[in-house]
Amino acid sequence: MSTPETMGDDAPRTKSIELRKPIKLGDIKYDTLELREPTLGEMDKAAKAAGSRFGSDIELLSLITNIPTLGIKQIGVSEYNEALKFISVFTNAGQPTGET
């Protein structure tokens, strides 16, 4: 289940994704990914963490949700895909679409 919040225009700036299986890190439990628009600095930091196919995505999700990377690695693929779909609105801005 997800809920977007809009800020003045049609593009959602935040999104909540309820996790089917909560993330557990020690005594801390995360039930929801609280996504928001990333900053340029966060995107730069995530790009520098791209040591694997998923490295930059894991780092960016960690930065914008305030969940440690070890926790982000526990989310399901469907939730990962839903989060990336939301983030792609911001990360793909200005890139060519192939349309003329």
25 pLDDT higher than 70 = yes
Task: Pick the range with the lowest mean pLDDT from 16-30, 46-60, 74-88.
Answer: 46-60
Per-position DSSP letters for 58-74, written without gaps between them: HHHHHHHHT--HHHHTT
Residues 33-48: pLDDT tens digits?
A: 999 999 999 999 999 9
Q: Could you tell me the pTM of the whole model?
A: 0.80
* Alpha-carbon distance values, 14 to 24, 25, 85, 86 (Å): 23, 24, 12, 9
96 pLDDT higher than 90 = no
Computed over its alpha carbons, how large is the radius of gyration of the chain? 14
Q: Residue 98 gets which letter from DSSP?
A: S
Q: Which amino acid is at 14?
A: T
7 pLDDT higher than 80 = no
In angstroms, the CA 33 to CA 78 distance is 13
Please report, for the chain, the start and end positions of each structural domain, with discontinuous segments joined by +. 2-91
Structure tokens at 76: 């399901």
Which residues have a Cβ under 8 Å from the Cβ of 70 and sit 6 or more positions away?
25
pLDDT confidence band for 94 (50 / 70 / 90): low
